[in-house]
Structure 1
Amino acid sequence: MTTDCKNIPWSLRVAATLLVTLTACTSDPSPTDSVTAVTAAVNAPGSPDTYAVIDCLLPGQIHQLGKHTTFVTARRPVRTTGENCAIRAGEYVTRDRADYGTSLKTWLADAQTGSAEGQYYVATLYENGDGKVVPPDYRQAAEWYRKAAEQGDKRAMIGLGRLYEQGLGLSKDPEQAFTWFRKASGLSEGAFSSLANTQVPQAKDLGFDGPSLEVIDPPLVRTRGIQPRPDDLAIPVDTGVQRSVTGRVLAPAGLQTLLVNGEKITPSDNGVFTATLRALRSASDELLIQILAKDTQDKQTTMKFTLKAKGALQPTTPIPKQDIDGFGRYHALVIGNDQYTHWPKLKNAISDATAIAKVLEERYGFQVRLLKDAGRTQIMKALNQYTKELTEKDNLIIYYAGHGHLEQGIERGYWISVDAETDDNSEWVRLSDVTDQLQLISAKHVMVVADSCFSGKLTRSLSLAQMKPGLTDEERFEVLKQLAQERVRTAMSSGGVKPVLDAGGSGHSVFAEAFLGVLEDNVMILEARRLFDAIHARVISNSQKMGATQIPTYDPINMAGHESIGDFIFVPQTPKNRRG
């Protein structure tokens, strides 16, 4: 239902999932126990402001020159928490994005000495402005991004590519955007060419590859068989229930026709399409599906698979043990707030959080810390603890479900802690503070899943790569391994910057129901972009049935250290690869 969003003008219920995929080392003697560490941190005394990210000036270092001369170097800027700055005897003003001058002064001198890190932070300050009085200066941002990018800073490469892509401070130039994104990706030539939306726009001519097809939702199961046959690809479904199948078509030369069992289908701008199929009448009933795509060159591709009753399939084991070691360890912080003191109580936030915690732990092997009805102090302590505990061998998820608020004009978003007042923001959690924490967390891949009204304000539009349809299992796995090596900060929102549905009739929100369903159905190593495509189709379909139109989005998180076109990777457990 939509009542919570409608009754609160600036309601923001955020579900944030920070997902990191990194190279694991099976010889590590002591894997991180994040649940114990985060639990201890949440229960420890202390102010949440201690864990806010600030710009800190550390004291200069004392150097000895010969026997009789000593000197002190200039003070050094660093972005860290207030707690860490105090321990290191640093000087700071609690960081406020409205305090533009203080932050710029802290980093500008360092940038002018040639520090790539300083140049990157100066660029982000110019790109943001102060949110109130000082507007963004995109031309200056581009200059500083370029200086840092030319020194190899991947975050700056992405920033510069974004400005070229959107025509901010620079002439809009897709080829330059492509060039900088490619440099930042770190992918090999072969892997990069396997991504569907990393092609430089070209004039239409002959010589393009023909169209390619893939099924996104529900996932196909490859059944056992010595010789491949059309029905070796199958979808298990319940009998007596009408089923929709979602897929994606890629046609570099332009799509002329798309048919599903002879019926013409119109895909979305990014090639995603949905077809409604008849229900299976019995456990022995089957339905053969044929999809045909023809491009403007008259090249065509077909794909066949079968709908079969659940229980009639014997899928092969999709993930051998030796294949998953490179994807790292997985952790999750899951937050659900229902029982608000001053805001209207919610019905499904804790239910959503509990179910997601369960599927992440049981199906994907995450170490999960679940917080119910959390205050600002607990949330900030938990986030800060992950900056201390995790390394580049760890993956992290943070999921938040609860109320929120969006300030118009400055477009500042907040998570609302369970004891926060409606007219006093001192106990609200600023999304910019969460973003700052993401820069300090060592995990490479961070994905925020935000199931809330106006949750899209956490992100900034930017091209995200996705794999081309039609890759073999071996080709796809090689690309996944490449994607798993790059630092990524992305967010999946349940409805962009518009109100979203709170209930879907199953005890969960429409978005959470889709998120859970796709993860539970999945039997393969799954990149987040593919997860999103499946969720996107389910949410639109189910919301329209309820008389609304809810459109999820998936973009990089703004100013969180996004460096690459990589993606977060989910690795489901099987008896052979279950993590000890």
Structure 2
Amino acid sequence: MGMNYYKITLIFIFLLAGSSISLCQVEGESKVTSIKLIKPSGTEESGERNVRDTAPPRIKIISPQLDSTSTAHLSASSIYLMGRITDDSGIQSFSINDAIITPDENGFFQHSYSLAEGLNVFKIDLSDNLANSSTNFIYLINDAANPTIATGDEFDYKGDFYGLIIGIDNYIDPDIVDLDHPITDATLLYSTLVGNYMFEPENITLLKDPTRADVIRNLDILSYKLTPNDNLLIFYAGHGYWDEEKETGYWFPSDAEQFSSVNWIRNSTIQDFVDDINTRHTLLISDACFAGSIFKTRGAFQDASIAVNKLYSLSSRKAMTSGTFLEEVPDRSVFIEYFLKRLLDNEKKYISSGELYNSFREAVLNNSPNIPQYGVIQDTGDEGGEFIFIKR
């Protein structure tokens, strides 16, 4: 019998601490080619031991703001319940008061509910793909019978609050690095504005990974739709670029190409739209590299002590940016973190954009290498007023 034709298959099975190890040898070879650990549950793992996820999904309520007992006091006939759920293994089911809720791809959800006077209880059931589950309760106390008495600082305003919220994580051009956080930041801002301030969902557009055409189209729609009594907030989070030779800044939409500027959006284009959209107040917030290039000159800080009525009565065209025109900013933004925190923590009925900026500027300076900016967008019709955030 010729030795060259021997085919040997050896399989050794050992029971070690409740697990089995299989050493599999390929026919005609004399070395082990694979080692697999088979856990008692029947699942296999190769290499390092995996730790089973035993935690239920996590939920964070963005609006309304709850105290440590999961309670909020309100004076409203209806609310937008907004939040985010996360889980390492994925969400299997999610319901509020036994009604199925479908979150978006990043785990955010929002739903409108009518409130009765007094106590309103919301039961939230969550389970993940590994059958870990939890039930949570939140308590909303509607004090509609005792509404807040207006103070001398109240003012009558006309018009609506609009928003164009842009977040770009993914770029078509493989030469442009994708980002992880802009869409999450944009969604958090959207939820904060709708849930806590006088922005109605139908008046805010949230663009996720838009192309240049998407951005321009939505700005164009706003230029025809808004009136001189309306207020507009534009937010951009994504890549930015400063061309030193041309002294021009750009936003990068999702279809931007590294070696062609055909789909880049010039700062001057944004400035033209800010000028053309005939609002009472327009506030541009840019969280991108070289975002400060939107300013033609360094903007002077507004005195936050000026009466809200005065600030609102004068038109404004201002911008708030995460850095100067020379600075790059990280993917995980300290600027937007503190901006959102101040919006959520704010207890004032009215807060101007200048006062809001001054409330977190130092925190950004102390916790990042960037220098946030706030000032006038030159040559767009600013008269010295301020965008006013009005709480629900």
Range of TM-score over shorter length: 0.5 to 0.7
What residue in structure 2 maps to residue 555 of structure 1?
375
Query: Which has a greater percent of strand?
Result: 2
Shift of 1:532: 0.8
Structure 1 residue 451 and structure 2 residue 287: aligned? yes
The partner residue of 1:355 within 188, 196, 219 is 188
Q: Counterpart of 2:196 in structure 1: which amino acid?
A: R
Shift of 1:349: 0.7
What residue in structure 1 maps to residue 389 of structure 2?
570
Q: TM-score, normalised by structure 2?
A: 0.58
Query: 1:189-232: CA deviations, max 9, x gaps?
Result: xxxxxxxxxxxxxxxxxxxxxxxxxxxxxxxxxxxxxxxxxxxx
Query: 1:371-404: CA deviations, max 9, x gaps?
Result: 1000000100100111100001211111111112
What residue in structure 1 maps to residue 367 of structure 2?
542
The 3-state SS of whatever aligns with 1:362 is: helix
CA distance in 2, matches of 1:420, 1:452: 15
Q: Are residues 466 and 419 of structure 1, via their aligned partners in 2, closer, same or farther at CA, if it must alter by over 3 Å?
A: closer
Aligned-residue Cα RMSD (Å) equals: 2.6
Structure 1 residue 432 and structure 2 residue 268: aligned? yes
The 3-state SS of whatever aligns with 2:256 is: coil
Shift of 1:431: 1.3
Paired residues for 1:126-275 under 5 Å: none
What are structure 2's unaligned runs of at least 5 residues? 1-66, 69-146
What residue in structure 2 maps to residue 496 of structure 1?
324
Q: TM-score, normalised by structure 1?
A: 0.40
Structure 1 residue 517 and structure 2 residue 341: aligned? yes
The 3-state SS of whatever aligns with 1:325 is: coil
CA distance in 2, matches of 1:518, 1:480: 18
- Indicate conservation of the 8 Å contact 1:374/1:418, yes or no: yes
Query: Which has a greater percent of helix?
Result: 1
Shift of 1:561: 2.5
The partner residue of 1:383 within 206, 219, 227 is 219
Q: Are residues 420 and 537 of structure 1, via their aligned partners in 2, closer, same or farther at CA, if it must alter by over 3 Å?
A: same
Shift of 1:407: 1.1
- Indicate conservation of the 8 Å contact 1:529/1:567, yes or no: yes
What residue in structure 2 maps to residue 532 of structure 1?
357
Q: Counterpart of 2:378 in structure 1: which amino acid?
A: N
Paired residues for 1:467-482 under 5 Å: 467=303, 479-482=307-310
The structure with more radius of gyration? 2
Query: 1:338-365: CA deviations, max 9, x gaps?
Result: 1111111001010110001111111112
Q: Counterpart of 1:553 in structure 2: which amino acid?
A: Q
CA distance in 1, matches of 2:364, 2:301: 22
- Indicate conservation of the 8 Å contact 1:415/1:430, yes or no: yes
What residue in structure 2 maps to residue 31 of structure 1?
none
- Indicate conservation of the 8 Å contact 1:333/1:399, yes or no: yes
The partner residue of 1:393 within 195, 213, 229 is 229
What are structure 1's unaligned runs of at least 5 residues? 1-235, 238-315, 470-477, 544-548, 574-580
Shift of 1:319: 6.1
CA distance in 2, matches of 1:388, 1:489: 18
Shift of 1:535: 2.0
- Indicate conservation of the 8 Å contact 1:527/1:568, yes or no: yes
Structure 1 residue 406 and structure 2 residue 239: aligned? no
Query: 1:453-477: CA deviations, max 9, x gaps?
Result: 11111013356463365xxxxxxxx
Higher relative contact order (CA 8 A, sep 6+): 1
What residue in structure 1 maps to residue 6 of structure 2?
none
Q: Are residues 468 and 381 of structure 1, via their aligned partners in 2, closer, same or farther at CA, if it must alter by over 3 Å?
A: closer
The 3-state SS of whatever aligns with 1:388 is: helix
- Indicate conservation of the 8 Å contact 2:171/2:254, yes or no: yes
The partner residue of 2:163 within 313, 332, 335 is 332
CA distance in 1, matches of 2:187, 2:323: 21
- Indicate conservation of the 8 Å contact 1:464/1:565, yes or no: no
CA distance in 2, matches of 1:557, 1:330: 20
